[in-house]
Amino acid sequence: MLGFDSPLPVNPDVPAPGYGKILPADSPHFVASNFDSWFFLFWAGLLVVVIALPWCINQAVRHKSYLPLLTLIAGVFTSLGEPMLDLVGHLRWAENLQNSGYHNFGIAIPLLIPPCYGLFMGLEAYWIWSIIQRGVTVKNFFMIFAAVGVSDAIMEYPGVTMGVYEYYGRQPLEFYKFPFYWSFTNAASILTVAVLVHFAWPLVKGQGYKQLLIIPCGIIATTMAEFGTGFPVFLSVNSPAPTWLQWVIGGTGTVVISLVWCRVLAELVCDKESQLEWTFLGMFKSRFMLPKQREAYIAGITRPKASVAVPEPDRIPVG
């Protein structure tokens, strides 16, 4: 019987009971080129955040509109949960990426992650919040879900193809290095942030420092949604289950739960009488618009309420 001072045998090929195979620390070196590491740093969100930050500050200082800046900061803080997702989802980063200085679970988180989360979990959640305020139907809400999922895959593919990071081990729903269950869990997370802000903001708006309570909404919502929808796949990839079972229970289970999750969120915020003629393509394009362009786009698709025809009164015969 081993005592507390007796070291446990380390053999990465034989997982401890109840645990999947975690990539050992002495695995082959994994590096990216300098161009790839810098390109993905800006592609993953730094460029957009740098462009958007002055607008967020201007909204706060000149217009007393603090929500854009608060959601951006909230998004950055959600990056604190990245090591947990990397561990259970089996993701590893190239060793020579720009370092953020944040380490946890034995994982060094690269500098690209905080602005990436600021963009997707922060500014994208704000974009969804602004759409919800205009009015969406359940169908429209699923369009947003699809647009976010597609944009997530578009963002991630350069990273996995350039070798900036990789998903190791057996990954359900993986097509050319990217496991597509992440498009579903990430979309569910971003929508959850937007819905939580939708309910929280009216309670703290205009109340001084209480408005800072929007900041923890990001990490609360993403942790809730990532693990709430992703637990089937996280359990499966960390188990000795056969590959086909990981796909059926892990991958498919996560997709189904993500869709149900989206439907529940839609019930909370959707307006069955929305007067906006949303389209998937329009929503997807508005995701990449500047705020003024987006406002003009939304104003352009607003259709006036149909006027109700009032019947003429019966004519009274004269004479």
What pTM did the predictor assign?
0.83
CA distance 163 to 28: 14
CA distance 22 to 92: 10
* Single-letter amino acid code for the residue at 89: G
Please give the angle made by the CA atoms of 72, 167 and 124, to the nearest 5 degrees: 20
DSSP bridge partners of 276: 302
CA distance 138 to 201: 22
Please state whether beta strands 174-175 and 165-167 pair in parallel, antiparallel, or not at all (unpaired).
Answer: unpaired
Tens digit of each residue's pLDDT, the chain (319 residues): 333 343 434 444 444 444 445 555 455 677 888 888 888 888 887 888 888 889 899 989 998 999 999 999 999 999 999 999 998 999 989 888 888 888 888 788 999 999 999 988 999 999 899 889 888 889 989 999 999 999 899 889 988 998 899 998 889 999 889 999 999 999 999 999 999 999 999 999 999 999 999 999 999 999 999 999 999 999 998 888 888 888 988 899 999 999 999 999 999 998 777 667 777 787 777 777 766 677 777 777 765 444 444 444 444 444 4
| Alpha-carbon distance values, 38 to 97, 113, 121, 226 (Å) | 8, 13, 21, 27
DSSP bridge partners of 175: 178
Domains of the chain, by residue range, sit at 34-297
